[in-house]
Amino acid sequence: MQQNKIEQSSVVGAAELVPIVKGSHVYLVDGSGYIFRAFHALPPLTRPSDGLPVGAVHGFCAMLWKLLRESKASEAPTHIAVIFDAGRETFRNDIYPKYKAHRPPPPEELLPQFPLIRDAVKAFNVACIELDRYEADDLIATYAREAVNAGGDVTIVSSDKDLMQLVRPGVTMFDGMKAKRIGRDEVIEKFGVPPEKVIDVQALSGDSVDNVPGVPGIGIKTAAELISTYGDLDTLLARAGEIKQPKRREKLIEFAEQARISRQLVLLKEDVPLEIAIDALGVRDPEVDALLGFLRAMEFSTLTKRIAEGLGAEAPPPLAISVGASLKSKAQSTSDKIEALAEEEAFEGATPAAAVAAGTAIARAKAIDRSKYETITTRTRLEEWVRKAGQTGYVAFDTETTDLDATRADLVGISLAVAPGEACYVPLGHTGPSNDLFGGADNRPPQLPITEALDVLRPLLEDPSVLKIGQNIKYDALVMKRYGIDVTPFDDTMLISYALDGGRNAHGMDVLAERHLGHACMTFAQAMGQAPGAKKSEKTFAAMPLDKATEYAAEDADVTLRLWKVLKPRLAAEHVTTVYEMLERPLVPVIVAMEHAGIKVDRDILARLSSAFAQRAVRLEEEINGLVGHKFNLGSPKQLGELLFDRLKLPGGKKTKSGQWETRANLLDELAANEELDGDARRLINTMLEWRQISKLRSTYTDALPEFIDPSTGRIHTSYALASTTTGRLASSDPNLQNIPIRTKEGREIRTAFIADKGMKLVSADYSQIELRVLAHVADIPQLKKAFADGLDIHAMTASEMFGVPVKDMPGEVRRRAKAINFGIIYGISPFGLANQLSISREEASDYIKTYFQRFPGIRDYMEATKKHAHAHGHVETIFGRKIHYPEINTKNPSMRGFLERAAINAPIQGSAADIIRRAMIRMPGAIEKAKLDSARMLLQVHDELVFEVAEADAQKLIDVARRVMETAGEPAVKLSVPIHVDAKAAYNWDEAH
């Protein structure tokens, strides 16, 4: 959300084109190179309030500012761009697949800084450029060539030796960190040859970091000597036989081709198809508010001040309380405090543990007192609160509405909190108690008109320099979006808690308040009171009197702020900042957009199905009644169980733990397959199963879904819970669109009711076998990895390994069993469960498992290691570092322990897959925008599937984009050692698209 704002401003400035002429000076900054160098060369720096690593961001901002403002007039840039590497795969991998293959992933502290630096570039109103399949170096080479051709000068801001080949008349390099120019002489000093021969030297010497092979045994020194003697690489290779040293001669002859490939790898491409013309890179003034807002949000106070002065603007007040700083300056005066804050860049910060302690102390210092909250009904008081929040730099924020469903909720009020105990409530849509049929319009309490209040609040809620803190802020953001307000930037205490304590506790506000503040929140029911007569469903917040509403609403904001104080510092202390910043927080605006978009549903199709199902159910019911001889409630498992096992005395009955007969579908299936049963009994059971299926489809889907269609748009807006599962998966509700039927013919018909809008298509893209691929990767199983690399049928391969059956002409039953075992492994297999699934004996299942582990000992080792880790640490982790806690895993209760162990085995696999698709979703809007697919929107997520809507003509293009984003979603943090495959299809309804 913050990015959007900054992007807009840079787009505005991009309108004017400045052609390159003689005297133009183009600065091309190697962004990726700078990030790595700054990260390793500069001392680590963390944001005081939350410990987010920002050292590279700081170094980058300081360097960029210096370039823009402090270079000598003769060297001042007329054009400037910062250029980044787009992704891991480039055209060089087509030439040489192993190029840069051994690069380890960037360190954890660096990951959150990549997007921040892109934001920084935009905040400076400087063009931020990257292009898929090309490295930053190629873009730099291309821009440099264009600039020189047009008569301009070029400064490449980088110290990367790979760029030295570009130095020539008109092109120099500048080391942004050492503030040192690199010209022809410096290149000769480094390589022993002039710039135009650098690639020949590199082709010989290779580069172990980039995995450029070169010629073994030849380093830069020897290479330079050889090239100087023979003139260039081709001549050298042609005349290699003349070389005196025998070793060197042999190597050069043997590896001649490898040297030529190496030259191709190091040679920069000077004719990249540019998306942004060089004329569009003209230097623009920064947009003051956006830039200072960004710097302040990073909490660089000295730099903010310096840049503010340079821009002739007032420095914004620093964020009031960095936890560590406030600790340090406890007994100081306000002015001392501000002075202390001004030095916070030098301030190393309290230890993370001390920051946590301080935050907790602040949050708990003042008791929660509902009588102290202010009700705001005048513009002046509201403006005063907005000013206070602006000065503080953060504000807890909560909305009260008429409905729990944000896509249909109307705003009733907004509460704010700026410090523990300092909270207010702004009523906006209270109707007063409704004692009559007219909604009590006459009793409407005095309130600020909603449009006026929102006009005052909007600048605060959209202020890039003020952090808005919410508890499940997705809800509030969605409500505010419908009132035209973008809440940005934000933190979410629910998501912070989820990153910290997933598996330890739930993350609703009442649970968190109880756990972290020892406070029992006022419940909604308490606030509403037990007004007699009124039905609960008709009680909305709008009817609540203002005094009660203020106590309830302002308490929520107060509690949210206190929770933030307690929880935020823990992110850094417990090493999950990256999880929060990379997997949780950026997902919020994406989900808001998806929920807001909704999916079109054809009411008529559902209605038709519903009545067809109803007729069929009646027929089946009559048939059953005929067979049984009397009526009974088919929907009652209790009555059915008694009928089948007590009255008809059918064999094979099992009881549930509450002593009831079990009547689950797969049990009835087996019963019906029993040859000894008489025909009527089997007919009864089969009819019963059919009735259940049809009734389920009708009640859960065809009858229920139309109720969720928004009458004005014809679309269904589900709600995604971001913090309700233990593993990191999302959950969908109201309605749940993650369990729309697909397995049976009747069920699939329901999917045909999910349709694309006029002129549009639905695109469904789903990961193939993502969890098994994750398993192959994390457990490092050679056969599985090979099978995926070769694109084999993984279940057939498993069967073949286990039973020695060739894959060709394998009986379906054999493959089915192997498939069940593969799933069983993911679920933390047990003989009991496998036996149940396959309807075989426990002994047989036990044998299967034994055979499996003999064939894949690595899987057993992985499972044992996971269990051990869980017992030792109380948690397991996904490949992205998400922690899933199992505090009870050492319980003495064997069946419970077994359950938790299986869950702990499953969690890293399911959770890693969930993290991968989260990353894909986070990147998707940007990728769609970059591909100029304006018509495309992401609508749904079903664990391993994403559903989009797109103009018919763009469907194929979207498929390409979605597939690329999904298949590379783990990178660069994690590159799986198996390929990831995504299937995608477009059609006019969900059934055909899947």
Partner DNA sequence: CTACGTACGTA
Partner DNA sequence: GTACGTACGTAGG
Binding interface with DNA (CB under 7 A): 535-536, 633, 635-639, 641, 656-658, 660, 662-665, 689, 692-693, 695-697, 699-700, 703-704, 721, 724-727, 729, 731-736, 738-744, 747, 820-821, 823-824, 827-830, 832-834, 836-837, 899, 902-903, 906-907, 910, 942-945
CA triple 947-948-950, angle to 5 deg = 155
> 416 — phi, psi (to 5°)?
-130, 150
Cβ atoms of residues 421 and 369 within 8 Å: yes
Instruction: Please state the closest distance from residue 195 (CB atom) to DNA, in A.
Output: 53
**Longest Cα separation, the chain:** 107
Whichever of 255 and 645 has its CB closer to DNA, that residue is 645
Q: What angle do CA 935, 940, 944 make, to 5 degrees?
A: 120
293 or 735: whose CB is closer to DNA? 735
Q: Exposed, middle or buried: residue 441 (CB in 10 Å: 0-12, 13-18, 19+)?
A: exposed
Rounded Cα gap, residues 560 and 239, in angstroms: 76
Task: Give the angle subtended at the CA of 717 by the CAs of 713 and 722, to the nearest 5°.
Answer: 155
Nearer to DNA, 395 or 617 (CB): 617
Minimum distance from residue 944 beta carbon to DNA (Å)? 3
Between the alpha carbon of residue 301 and those of residues 58, 59, 294, 337, 718, the distances in Å are 11, 14, 11, 13, 43
- Least gap, CB of 663 to DNA (angstroms): 4
Q: Of 263 and 795, which CB lies nearer to DNA in the complex structure?
A: 795
Q: Which residues contact 722 (CB under 8 A, 6 or more apart)?
A: 472, 474, 494, 495, 498, 584, 587, 588, 591, 730
* Beta carbon of residue 979, minimum distance to DNA (angstroms, whole number): 18
| Residue showing tokens 């894909």 | 920
* Minimum CB–partner distance for residue 713 and DNA (Å): 20
The Cα–Cα gap between 724 and 277 comes to: 47
Within 10 angstroms of residue 109's Cβ, the number of other Cβ atoms is: 18
To DNA, the closest distance from the beta carbon of 558 in angstroms equals 26
Quick one: 237 or 697, whose CB is closer to DNA? 697
Neighbours of 276 (CB within 10 A): 15
In the complex, the smallest distance separating the C-beta of residue 852 from DNA, rounded to whole angstroms, is 10
For DNA, the closer CB: 144 or 920: 920
Q: Where would I find the H helices in 26-177?
A: 31-41, 55-70, 91-95, 113-123, 136-149
Residue closer to DNA, measured from CB, 303 or 511: 511
Q: Collapsing DSSP states into helix, strand and coil, what is residue 881? A: coil
Give min distance, CB of 513 to DNA, in A.
19
Exposed, middle or buried by CB within 10 Å (0-12, 13-18, 19+), for 370? middle
Q: Could you tell me the smallest distance in angstroms from the CB atom of residue 201 to DNA?
A: 52
Shortest separation between residue 674's beta carbon and DNA, angstroms: 17
Q: Which is nearer to DNA, 528 or 978 (CB)?
A: 528
Shortest Å, Cβ 506 to DNA = 10
Of the pair 569, 824, the CB lying nearest DNA is at: 824
For residues 799 and 821, give the distance between their C-alpha atoms in angstroms, rounded to a whole number: 9
Identity of the amino acid at 368: I
> Which of residues 242 and 646 has its CB atom nearest to DNA in the complex?
646
Residue placing its CB nearer to DNA in the complex, 696 or 975: 696
> In the complex with DNA, which residue's Cβ is closer, 131 or 907?
907
Gap between the Cα atoms of 641 and 373, Å rounded: 58
| Closest distance to DNA from the beta carbon of 264 (Å) | 42
Q: Minimal distance in Å, beta carbon 571 to DNA?
A: 22
Q: Name which of 340 and 681 has its Cβ closer to DNA.
A: 681
**Is the CB of 25 or the CB of 729 nearer to DNA?**
729
Residue 837 contacts residue 825 (beta carbons within 8 Å): no
Q: How far is the CB of 338 from DNA (least distance, A)?
A: 46
Pairing of strands 25-30, 153-157: parallel
The C-alpha angle with vertex 364 and arms to 359 and 369, in degrees rounded to 5, equals 140
Nearest distance from C-beta of residue 704 to DNA, angstroms: 4
Is the Cα torsion angle 517, 519, 523, 527 positive or negative in sign?
negative
* Among 699, 693, 764, residue whose Cα is nearest residue 735: 699
Query: Closer CB to DNA, residue 434 or residue 693?
Result: 693
Query: Rounded to whole angstroms, how far apart are CA atoms 321 and 467?
Result: 12
Cα-only R_g, the chain: 33
Find out whether 663 and 645 touch, Cβ atoms under 8 Å.
no
- Residue 785 CB, nearest approach to DNA (Å): 22
Q: Any alpha helices (H) in 79-230, and if so which ranges?
A: 91-95, 113-123, 136-149, 184-191, 198-205, 220-230
Angstrom distance (rounded) from CA 331 to CA 336: 10
Q: Using CA atoms, how far apart are residues 586 and 919, in angstroms rounded to an integer?
A: 9
Taking a C-beta distance cutoff of 8 angstroms, is the pair 527, 552 a contact?
Answer: yes
Given a contact cutoff of 8 angstroms between Cβ atoms, the answer to whether 613 and 698 are in contact is yes
In the bound state with DNA, the residue whose beta carbon lies nearer, of 122 and 817, is: 817
